[in-house]
Amino acid sequence: MVRHVSIDGANIMYGNLMMMLVFSLAVTAESLDQPRTPVSLKEDRRRVFYNIAHMVNSIQEVDEFLGRKANAFESDVSFFSDGFAGLTHHGFPCDCLRHCGGMANFSELLDYIRLKVDTGADLTLLLLDLKVSKLSENAKVAAGRSVISTIARHLWEPSTYRVNVVLSIPRVEDHRVIEGVLDGLAAPWMQHYVQNLGFDISTAKELEKIQEILANYGIYEHIWQGEGITNCVSTLHSNENLKKALNLRDLGGYPQKVYEWTVDLSSFQAAALDLGVDGIITNVPERLDQVLKEKFADKYRLATRNDSPWLRHAGFVRPETSRKPIASVSKNLKEVGEQKLSFFKSLFG
């Protein structure tokens, strides 16, 4: 069976209705299996939070950022022209005061993360930034198949604990990657992995279109929504799109989780936490960890293996007047200086 869906005049074609239903049906079955217990008055109602280390693309960076208080990683997956998921690599240009050249074979990085998790590392989430925008449409479908197959073979099996994965797609125009992922999940031996997989289209400029595209693929749950910009100019970036995504989340539909990227200065991290984000991608996770402990310990707690990254948290009341992080001039300059020093020390020892 072939179905055509029109979105803003563009025809989207994808085959086999069963392929599209795999995700929604499996997620529904998963939710029905969850025990329903009364809410205890002593239950911890703090928002579960993901401190996401940015650009964890090499074996060395896995160990480094686990030691720097991150409980989640963002990694960049690059593809060959035929859609094969080959490397984790960002390349130049990247964020300010970061090395852009970190690299590993995708499968080897997943093998190493699985090893670390199986030996006790409390890594709760892996957000994979899929660099697919330059691929042909057919190669995007192949990229989806390749990435889900590689994750299943090298991260999820065999393992005593499956790290949850969010597949992050750069633009709405790259949506055919989802077709390939669902095609890979349609195999009977793959369908149980659905409970560990989520999706994100990482710029919240076209929220209605994102929601429509995901719905056309039968995806209504396990949805993250990112919003942000490189740390080089993040201090000048408006948070209006972030607020819109948060409002949608709190209305009870799409998405279930909202995160901001890439936020390195503590005053801007605090401003995002004031708004009620579920995660922040940062190059300085130890700084974010300190902000959480010093200023938000009553509202947030770090996610653990026992927390589902697919559950929406009831929103807390936001402050009537938001912080003005740009006004913290001396503190911001001090922290930039600290990052510069750390960067040059890593260059010259």
Token pair in block for residue 256: 């279930």
3-state SS class at 162:
coil
| Rg of the chain on CA atoms, in Å | 20
Cβ neighbours for 300, distance < 8 A, ≥ 6 positions apart: 46, 47, 48, 49, 273, 292
In terms of DSSP bridges, do strands 85-89 and 103-105 run parallel, antiparallel, or are they unpaired? antiparallel
DSSP string, 77-118: EEE-TT--EEEEE--SS-STTS-S--EEEHHHHHHHHHHHHH
Mean pLDDT, contiguous 10-residue spans, the chain (349 residues): 38 47 57 46 84 97 97 98 96 84 95 96 97 97 98 91 96 96 95 96 88 96 94 86 94 94 94 96 97 96 96 72 67 76 71
Instruction: Give alpha helix (H) positions in the chain.
Output: 17-33, 59-66, 106-118, 137-151, 176-185, 207-216, 240-250, 266-275, 285-295, 329-348
Domain boundaries, the chain: 2-31+44-348
Selecting among 54, 89, 154, 222, the annotated active-site residue is 54
Confidence at residue 331, expressed as pLDDT on a 0 to 100 scale: 75
Selecting among 89, 90, 154, 222, the annotated active-site residue is 90
154 is catalytic: no
Confidence at residue 22, expressed as pLDDT on a 0 to 100 scale: 56
Confidence at residue 323, expressed as pLDDT on a 0 to 100 scale: 63
Residue with tokens 């990683």: 73
Question: For residues 199-221, b (16+ Cβ closer than 10 Å) or e, as one string?
Answer: bbbbbbeebeebbebbebbbbbb
Give which of 142, 137, 219 is closest to 184, Cα–Cα: 142
Give which of 26, 3, 28 is closest to 16, Cα–Cα: 3
Confidence at residue 35, expressed as pLDDT on a 0 to 100 scale: 43
Q: Half-sphere exposure of 264 toward its Cβ, with a 13 Å CA cutoff?
A: 23
Count of residues making up the chain? 349
Indicate the burial class of 119 (C-beta count within 10 angstroms; 0-12, 13-18, 19 or more).
Answer: exposed
- Are the C-beta atoms of residues 85 and 128 closer than 8 Å to each other? no
CA–CA gap between residue 212 and residue 1 (Å, rounded): 21
Taking the domain 2-31+44-348, which CATH number applies? 3.20.20.190
| 28 cis-preceded (ω within 30 degrees of 0) | no
Confidence at residue 127, expressed as pLDDT on a 0 to 100 scale: 99
3-state SS class at 178:
helix
54 is catalytic: yes
CA–CA gap between residue 223 and residue 24 (Å, rounded): 12
140 C-beta neighbours (distance < 10 Å), count:
24
CA–CA gap between residue 241 and residue 204 (Å, rounded): 6
Give which of 94, 76, 48 is closest to 229, Cα–Cα: 94
The identity of residue 349, as a single letter, is G
Provide the β-strand partners of residue 166. Answer: 127, 198
